[in-house]
Amino acid sequence: MVPADDLRARIKELAAAILRQKKILRDLEQAKSDVQSDLNRVLDPMARLPLELSSEIFIRCLPTNSLPNPHPTSAPLLLTTVCRAWSHIAISTPSLWAGIRIEFPCRNPMKERMDLWIGRARSLPLSISLINGPLCFDTRESLQHIADQIQTLKLYLPSGYDLRALATPFPSLKTLIIGRGWEEQRYSDSDDNDYSHDGIECVEMLRAAPGLVECTFDALQHELDDSPFAFHTQTPQLELTHSSLKHLRFGRPSYVYSPSSSRLILKSLTLPALESLRISDWSDDLVAFITRSSPPLKSLETSIPNEFPASLAERVFRVLPGLTDLHVTFSTSISSFLDVLAIGSPPQFLPNLSNLTMSGLIVDHPQYEKLVNMLAARQACSQPQLKTCRLFFSRHLRRSDDGPDAGILAALRQLAAGGMEIHVGVEGQNLL
């Protein structure tokens, strides 16, 4: 019988031989992989290109309508899984990683993914889009860590608490979009009204970004403090003078109790550098905001409510003498609006108006007459004349008598012959 010690020694020898063979196998597999990579580089045109060209090709693989998301089946992560050469190109291209769109809830921990992604962007300015929060602590921590690098920030979050949690300076931020999370109705406690944005929270985000140039508040919700659905007590008004903001847009309000979020925000802001404004809420607060700010406002995009406050509109326009572009969307008659534009002589009322766009329902004959008279008065003045006038219908004409008659068309063509660009009809169809 073979002694036990000899058997143990034999087992050790065999185990060592197995380890040696496994190492040889691993080395052979690695050698094969290296040769395959070399062959791929020989055959793959991407690998033969200079890094600058291959990087540009990869950049063109990114989505055009939104920021890339951290999903393995989408660029740029997908590009890192094809082969080592492509992975090297992708990781060596910081601009591929300079933007990220994160939709909640996330199945995997987000902090590690964000840190890895942002690390590959190196020192480039960042664009971050966060959709359908609420934000977790790790995500907030990651954002605050790179706050000085963020240039564009898009927050579609269901709760104003998320905005408060992001209370950190954003010194490089140039573009900010704040809106409600589109999926907020899926939350079981959405009826508790914890998911809303307060105007003060939005103002505080502006305060945190002194270099901000462009800001959009999209479909915000606000509850009156004395509403039975309110979830907080009245907050003192906070005032802010922001000297860099040039473009401010308010999107369509959502579930708005009067006063709307836009009105509350305007009460707090003074914007002396504002050049363009989009707003649908007409109120004395708008007049007070413009008077207080005295901005060089050149572009105004607005909507006319069903009961158009003509006197209020006149006061708004009178404090905007530098306005050059006016875009109005209407849901009812535009007679009152045209009456406002025809007030006094053009040199004293909106003297610099150059481009006028009106969009909405089909107008009737008396309104066409007012339009012609207003345009003729504008064309006759010696001040800078109206260059373009566009009247876009929301639907195609169904009957011939829905549009302007022959006399109106002739008058409009005569104005156009005088140098004014005029469009009447739907997009792509000018009745003139």
Last residue of a domain, one of 31, 65, 93: 93
Residue 357's SS3 state is: strand
Tell me, yes or no, whether 118 and 265 share the same domain.
yes
Predicted confidence at residue 230, as pLDDT, reads 38
Better-predicted residue by pLDDT, 158 or 57: 57
Is pLDDT at 224 greater than 50 in this prediction? no
Per-residue pLDDT band at 237 (split at 50, 70, 90): low
Tell me, yes or no, whether 308 and 410 share the same domain.
yes
Predicted confidence at residue 399, as pLDDT, reads 53
Predicted confidence at residue 281, as pLDDT, reads 77
User: Model confidence over 142-171: pLDDT tens digits?
Assistant: 888 899 999 999 988 877 777 887 878 999
Task: Domain count for the chain, please give it.
Answer: 3
Last residue of a domain, one of 59, 78, 93: 93
Q: What is the mean pLDDT of residues 45-51?
A: 76
Is pLDDT at 190 greater than 60 in this prediction? no
Is pLDDT at 222 greater than 60 in this prediction? no
Per-residue pLDDT band at 344 (split at 50, 70, 90): low
Tell me, yes or no, whether 119 and 216 share the same domain.
yes
- Does the N-terminal peptide bond of residue 309 adopt cis geometry, omega within 30 degrees of 0? no
Predicted confidence at residue 186, as pLDDT, reads 38
Does residue 7 lie in a domain region?
no
Tell me, yes or no, whether 182 and 331 share the same domain.
no
Contact 190, 167 (CB under 8 A): no
Q: Which of 68-77, 237-246, 256-265 has the lowest mean pLDDT?
A: 256-265
Tell me, yes or no, whether 177 and 219 share the same domain.
yes
DSSP structure class, residue 300: E
Q: What is the mean pLDDT of residues 343-371?
A: 79
Per-residue pLDDT band at 107 (split at 50, 70, 90): low
Last residue of a domain, one of 244, 267, 297: 297
Q: What is the mean pLDDT of residues 32-42?
A: 73
Tell me, yes or no, whether 266 and 370 share the same domain.
no
Does residue 44 lie in a domain region?
yes
Q: Please give the C-alpha separations between residue 54 and each of 62, 66, 357, in angstroms, as whole numbers.
A: 13, 22, 44
User: Model confidence over 372-431: pLDDT tens digits?
Assistant: 888 888 888 766 678 999 988 876 665 555 678 888 889 999 989 888 899 988 888 888
Tell me, yes or no, whether 276 and 395 share the same domain.
no
Q: What is the mean pLDDT of residues 63-91?
A: 89
What is the layout of strands, in order, in the sheet containing 325-330? 99-103, 126-131, 150-156, 175-179, 214-218, 247-250, 276-279, 299-304, 325-330, 355-360, 388-393, 421-425
**How far is the C-alpha of 430 from the C-alpha of 432, rounded, in Å?**
5
Structural domain boundaries enclosing 190: 98-224+235-297
Does residue 265 lie in a domain region?
yes
Is pLDDT at 127 greater than 50 in this prediction? yes
Tell me, yes or no, whether 87 and 156 share the same domain.
no
Alpha helix locations (H) across 44-172? 45-48, 51-59, 84-91, 110-121, 137-145, 160-165
Does residue 229 lie in a domain region?
no
Does residue 69 lie in a domain region?
yes
Tell me, yes or no, whether 63 and 115 share the same domain.
no
Q: What is the mean pLDDT of residues 25-41?
A: 80
Does residue 20 lie in a domain region?
no
Predicted confidence at residue 122, as pLDDT, reads 92
Q: Which of 130-134, 172-176, 257-261, 275-279 has the lowest mean pLDDT?
A: 257-261
Q: What percent of the chain has pLDDT over 90?
A: 30
Tell me, yes or no, whether 309 and 411 share the same domain.
yes
Predicted confidence at residue 402, as pLDDT, reads 62
Tell me, yes or no, whether 151 and 270 share the same domain.
yes
Does residue 80 lie in a domain region?
yes
Q: Please give the C-alpha separations between residue 214 and each of 9, 177, 211, 250, 287, in angstroms, as whole numbers.
A: 77, 8, 10, 12, 21
Tell me, yes or no, whether 393 and 270 share the same domain.
no
Does residue 17 lie in a domain region?
no
Q: What is the mean pLDDT of residues 356-360?
A: 88
Distance of CA 245 to the CA centre of its chain: 15
Neighbours of 100 (CB within 10 A): 20
The pTM (predicted TM-score) of the whole model is: 0.80
